[in-house]
Copies of this chain bind each other. A is one copy, B any other.
Amino acid sequence: MVVPVYTQIVEAIKAKIDSGELKPGDAIDSENTLCKEFGASRMTIRKGLGILAQEGYIYSIPGKGNFVKKPDLTKYTIYYDEMSNTINSVDRTRLLEVNIIMPDDTLADNLQISKRKNVISIKRLFFTEGNPVAYDIKYLLYHRGMPIVEKELQYATFSEMLSKTTPAFALKKELLISAEIPDEKVKHYLNIYKELPVLVVEQKLFNRDNKPMGMGFTYYRGDYIKIHGTNQ
């Protein structure tokens, strides 16, 4: 049962903040003062403060001191890929079409390419327990080494498709989540006969230089998906 000194420092200062003894904007004892208080070296104190900073509890101003931060009440983390979510998971996919297309104005705009460049479009259906739950369409700029084997395309998530040609760590990604009434084609694919909305997740992937590598839309039956987030 060894608790590192820096952990004790973290817990002690967290306790002061959570109890209200230290309020946002308040200064924390200086590092040298903390050294004396905890009987630790400055590097150990700084390790503790670094953890508090990383967790969003404090920030530092060089030459001034360490201060209690106003918590960010609006930040959440979600774990999303097309195939799995908190309620159900996709257990089967069907590759509907793979085409080489010329982008229309909107797509060319979004991918920041000329309308005469070729784009790969991939349309898929996702199933859970035999029922279609999502219609998925992706647009990819063609790159050497891109998976064009059906098997690879059929089961890959968007990130996986591109991480073969772009180092995954360098991928920047964006999500847009919205609610829509499905058009007739989507209704047909998803067996929607009554009034039922779709949850639309639009994904965009960029390389390290912010150049768009692809975009995609996934249309989920509204009664199938809930996207889950936490502030952890």
Interface residues of chain A, those whose CB is within 8 Å of chain B, are 14, 17-20, 43, 54, 56-57, 71-81, 86, 157, 159-160, 163, 167-181, 195-199, 202, 208, 220, 222, 225-232
Q: Which of A57, A163, A178 has the most CB of B within 10 A?
A: A178
Q: How many copies does the complex hold?
A: 2
> Bound complex: CA of A43 vs CA of B18, how far in Å?
31
B18 adjacent to A208 (CB under 8 Å) = yes
Among B77, B81, B86, B169, contact of A71 (Cβ-Cβ < 8 Å):
B169
On whether the beta carbons of A198 and B179 are closer than 8 Å, the reply is yes
Instruction: Give me 12 A-to-B residue pairs in the complex whose CB atoms sit less than 8 angstroms apart, sorted by A's number.
Output: A71-B168, A73-B159, A73-B163, A74-B157, A74-B159, A75-B79, A77-B77, A78-B78, A175-B228, A178-B225, A178-B227, A180-B197
B75 pairs with A77, CB closer than 8 A: yes
Interface centre among A71, A222, A229 (most CB of B within 10 A): A229
| B222 engages A175 (CB within 8 Å) | no
The reply to whether A171 and B57 form a contact with Cβ atoms under 8 Å apart is: no
Quick one: which of A78, A81, A170, A196 has the most chain B CB within 10 A? A78
Smallest CB gap from A181: residue in B: B195
Bound-complex Cα distance A18 to B170 (A): 7
Whether the Cβ atoms of A180 and B75 lie closer than 8 Å is: no
Question: Measured between C-beta atoms, what is the minimum distance from A163 to chain B in Å?
Answer: 7
Tell me if A19 and B168 are in contact (CB < 8 A): no
B76, B163, B208, B226: the one contacting A80 at CB < 8 Å is B76
